[in-house]
Amino acid sequence: MFLQRQGRAPWHWYAKDESDDTPEERRLIQKLDLLIVPYAVVAYWIKYIDQSNLNNAYVSDMQEDLGFHKNQLVSLQSMYTAGATIPALELGWGIFTLLQYRTQTFGELMAYRFFVGIFEAAFFPGPRDELGRRGGVFYVSQMLGTLTAGMIQSGPTKNLQGVRGLEGWRWMFIISALMTFPVANAGVFIWPGTPARPNRLFLKESELALAISRLQKSKVDVAERIGKTRLQFVKEIFTDWKIYAVTFWTVLFWNAGSTTYGDYLLWLKSLHRFSTPKITQIGTTAPALVIFYVLFVNFSSDLIWGPSGAITFAHIWHFTAMVILAIWDVPEAAKWFAFNSAYTQVAMSSVLYGWANHILRHDSAKRSFVIVFMNLFAQSTTAWTGILVFPTVEAPRFLKGWSFCATNSLALIAFTWLIIRPLARKEERKFLAARSGEAFQSERSLDDEYASVSVTPNKP
What are 34-67's pLDDT values in tens digits? 877 787 777 777 776 766 667 777 777 677 777 7
pLDDT at site 252 = 98
pLDDT at site 408 = 98
Residue 18 in domain: no
Residue 173 in domain: yes
For residues 200 and 210, give the distance between their C-alpha atoms in angstroms, rounded to a whole number: 14
Max distance between CA atoms of the chain, in angstroms, equals: 111
Q: Which residues of the chain have pLDDT under 70?
A: 1-21, 48, 50-53, 61, 69-102, 104-139, 141-143, 145-147, 149-150, 152-153, 188, 193-197, 218-230, 434-460
- Kindly report, residue by residue over 208-232, the tens digit of the pLDDT: 788 777 777 765 655 555 455 667 8
With H, G, I as helix, E, B as strand and everything else as coil, classify residue 198.
strand
Q: What is the dihedral of CA 2, 6, 9, 13, to 10 degrees?
A: -80
Domain count, the chain: 1
Strand (E) positions, 318-386? none
DSSP 59-120: IIIIHHHHT--TTHHHHHHHHHHHHTTS---HHHHHHHHHHGGG--SHHHHHHHHHHHHHHH
Q: What is the dihedral of CA 350, 310, 368, 13, to 10 degrees?
A: 60
| Amino acid at residue number 106 | F
User: Which phi and psi (to 5°) does residue 101 adopt?
Assistant: -65, -25
| Helix residue ranges, H only, 128-167 | 131-159
For residues 165 and 211, give the distance between their C-alpha atoms in angstroms, rounded to a whole number: 54
Q: How many CA atoms lie within 13 A of 35 on its CB side?
A: 20
For residues 410 and 418, give the distance between their C-alpha atoms in angstroms, rounded to a whole number: 12
- pTM for the whole structure: 0.69
pLDDT at site 456 = 42
Q: How far apart are the first and last CA of the chain?
A: 64
For residues 179 and 42, give the distance between their C-alpha atoms in angstroms, rounded to a whole number: 10
Residue 450 in domain: no
Residue 6 in domain: no
pLDDT at site 1 = 40
Residue 313 in domain: yes
Residue 237's domain comprises 23-432
**In Å, what is the CA distance from 390 to each residue of 170, 246, 385, 395?**
26, 26, 8, 8
CATH number at residue 37: 1.20.1250.20
For residues 295 and 348, give the distance between their C-alpha atoms in angstroms, rounded to a whole number: 9
pLDDT at site 179 = 80
For residues 169 and 54, give the distance between their C-alpha atoms in angstroms, rounded to a whole number: 9
With H, G, I as helix, E, B as strand and everything else as coil, classify residue 157.
helix
Q: What is the dihedral of CA 29, 30, 36, 37, to 10 degrees?
A: 120
Residue 429's contacts (CB-CB under 8 Å, 6 or more residues apart) are: none
For residues 253 and 220, give the distance between their C-alpha atoms in angstroms, rounded to a whole number: 26
Neighbours of 278 (CB within 10 A): 14
Q: In 3D, which of 72, 80, 87 has the Cα closest to residue 53?
A: 80
pLDDT at site 125 = 40
- Residue pair 270/396 in contact (Cβ under 8 Å)? The answer is yes
pLDDT at site 41 = 76
pLDDT at site 376 = 81
Residue 458 in domain: no
- Residue pair 287/146 in contact (Cβ under 8 Å)? The answer is yes
**In Å, what is the CA distance from 185 to each residue of 94, 139, 191, 402?**
11, 21, 11, 40
Residue 192 in domain: yes
Residue 245 in domain: yes
pLDDT at site 449 = 47
